[in-house]
């Protein structure tokens, strides 16, 4: 008999999860204005809102926390973190920040000005927020195949080189840099190939433009390169990461994902001019250069987390769990962004709730239905998250409308995944009866999905 696959860890500490009744959930959701961000965590049974800061640290990470150096300046913890980052990425200058968006804020404060254009592959919402709040424009140059959720392709996160070239040729004077998000979260946790990274770097160089990687899930991206791209199957994840970062001038990092810490982030680069400019902003917004919004103990945990999560077995365990959920959905015929992404499954809401018009936010409605069904909290990555066009103020309905089921690292077992799949099947089976969605009662001007207040229609 073939020995089955099992996790690359065993469990040493546990936390109870809470069930609830449908009546309770109906009441709670109403109180939360039909926005799952406004639910209390204790009202959630299985929380797939995000994989960000929700992972379980290892015993080695907890041990490293005890050795944290909390010195204001020059802490050993900073140097441990910096040395690990340098080893993995090749970047010598490291500026800590309290999380990924803070890294964006600090770096973009020095690189961006009003009217600029920043091409990239499906900028994440905070990235887009930090661009648009500076009255600059995020130009999406993702490959078109990313929009076809049913198409199987290995690298649906890629930048469309022709689109990028056109944008660079037409607007090079107002493009300060190109940004590549690895993996491409918004397009479904889809990876970017090494070949694509290489081509983006070459094209940007031709136009004398720098490249920044939004690196939140770079290790998962490296895993996919190893598994799917010719020439990489015998390379280690760390070798692949080193090569990936050769094609970037700088990185912003949300360490809450692939460094498996609950809070933290950084900027890293080999450009001294960028570092020198950014460090001034870093001190103003985040804190002194050797802690930037992080505790010494957190920097220690980050160093260990990065080291662990750039090992093949750790990534394999994680991504196989995401694939496990995908296999269940295949069994039930539920449409999702194919193939399974690195950190999440993204259910195609308009293909599921076919009777809910786009103006009534199908993915949000699916999020609501799944919560009501079994207390599972997913997250809308769709028309609400897309915000309004900054100029016309119209809703942006041109992208995908997805329910994201993000799987925290090392937190749930496949039994929990079975519950998620069964609950989603129940919603799917009664999809014909869901004919209405929600309407917006109140919304913020930017990044509205976090705080939006909604009401069910009908």
Q: Under the criterion CB under 6 A, does residue 121 sit at the interface with ligand F0G?
A: no
Segment contacting ligand F0G (CB under 6 A): 63-71, 95-103, 346-354, 367-375? 95-103
For ligand F0G, give the closer residue by CB, 158 or 185. Answer: 185
Site for ligand F0G in 21-50 (CB under 6 A): 50
Structure tokens at 416: 């929990």
Q: Under the criterion CB under 6 A, does residue 101 sit at the interface with ligand F0G?
A: yes
For ligand F0G, give the closer residue by CB, 213 or 428. Answer: 213
Q: Under the criterion CB under 6 A, does residue 209 sit at the interface with ligand F0G?
A: no
Active-site residue flag, 298: no
Active-site residue flag, 216: yes
Site for ligand F0G in 133-192 (CB under 6 A): 181, 185
Active-site residue flag, 98: no
CB of 93 to ligand F0G, least distance (A): 20
Active-site residue flag, 125: yes
Number of residues that bind ligand F0G (CB under 6 A): 15
Active-site residue, from 257, 279, 328, 416: 257
For ligand F0G, give the closer residue by CB, 69 or 258. Answer: 258
Q: Are 275 and 269 in contact (CB under 8 A)?
A: yes
Q: Which of 254, 269, 321, 337 binds ligand F0G (CB under 6 A)?
A: 254
Q: Under the criterion CB under 6 A, does residue 449 sit at the interface with ligand F0G?
A: no
For ligand F0G, give the closer residue by CB, 54 or 300. Answer: 54
Q: Under the criterion CB under 6 A, does residue 52 sit at the interface with ligand F0G?
A: yes
Active-site residue flag, 5: no
The residue number with the shortest CB distance to ligand F0G is 100
Q: Under the criterion CB under 6 A, does residue 300 sit at the interface with ligand F0G?
A: no
Binding site for ligand F0G (CB under 6 A): 50, 52, 99-101, 124, 126-127, 181, 185, 214, 216, 254, 256, 265
Annotated active-site positions, please?
Answer: 72, 124-125, 214, 216, 257, 449
């Amino acid at each position: 008999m073939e020995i089955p696959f099992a996790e690359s860890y065993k469990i040493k500490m546990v936390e109870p999860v809470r069930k609830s009744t449908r009546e309770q959930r109906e009441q709670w959701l109403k109180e939360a204005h039909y926005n799952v961000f406004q639910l209390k965590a204790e009202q959630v049974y299985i929380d797939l809102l995000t994989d960000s800061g929700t992972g379980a640290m290892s015993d080695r990470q907890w041990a490293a926390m005890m050795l944290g150096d909390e010195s204001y300046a020059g802490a050993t913890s900073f140097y441990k973190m910096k040395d690990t980052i340098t080893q993995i990425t090749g970047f010598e200058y490291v500026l800590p920040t309290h999380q990924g968006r803070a890294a964006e804020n600090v770096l973009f404060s020095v690189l961006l000005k009003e009217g600029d254009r920043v091409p990239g592959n499906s900028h994440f919402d905070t990235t887009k927020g930090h661009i648009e709040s500076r009255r600059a424009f995020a130009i999406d140059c993702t490959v078109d195949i990313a929009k076809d959720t049913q198409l199987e392709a290995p690298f649906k996160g890629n930048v469309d080189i022709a689109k990028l070239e056109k944008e660079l040729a037409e607007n090079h004077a107002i493009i300060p840099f190109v940004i590549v998000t690895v993996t491409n979260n918004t397009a479904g946790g889809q990876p970017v190939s090494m070949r694509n990274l290489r081509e983006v770097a070459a094209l940007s160089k031709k136009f004398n433009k720098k490249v920044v990687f939004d690196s939140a899930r770079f290790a998962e991206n490296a895993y996919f390169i190893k598994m799917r791209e010719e020439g990489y199957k015998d390379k280690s994840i760390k070798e692949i990461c080193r090569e990936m970062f050769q094609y970037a001038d700088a990185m912003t990092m949300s360490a809450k994902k692939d460094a498996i810490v609950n809070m933290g982030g950084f900027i890293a680069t080999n450009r001294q001019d960028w570092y020198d400019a950014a460090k001034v902003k870093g001190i103003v917004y985040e804190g002194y250069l050797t802690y930037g919004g992080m505790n010494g103990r957190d920097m220690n945990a980050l160093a260990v987390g990065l080291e662990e999560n750039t090992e093949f077995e750790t990534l394999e365990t994680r991504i196989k769990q995401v694939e496990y959920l995908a296999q269940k959905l295949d069994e039930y015929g539920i449409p999702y962004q194919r193939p399974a992404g690195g950190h999440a499954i993204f259910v195609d809401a308009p293909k599921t709730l076919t009777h809910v018009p786009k103006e009534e936010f199908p993915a949000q409605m699916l999020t609501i239905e799944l919560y009501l069904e079994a207390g599972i909290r997913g997250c809308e990555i769709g028309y609400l998250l897309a915000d309004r066009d900054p100029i016309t103020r119209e809703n942006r309905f041109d992208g995908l409308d997805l329910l994201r089921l993000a799987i925290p690292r090392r937190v749930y077992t496949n039994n929990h995944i079975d519950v998620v799949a069964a609950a989603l099947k129940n919603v799917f089976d009664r999809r014909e009866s869901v004919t209405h969605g929600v309407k917006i009662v109140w919304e913020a001007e930017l990044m509205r999905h976090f705080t939006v207040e909604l009401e069910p229609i009908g």
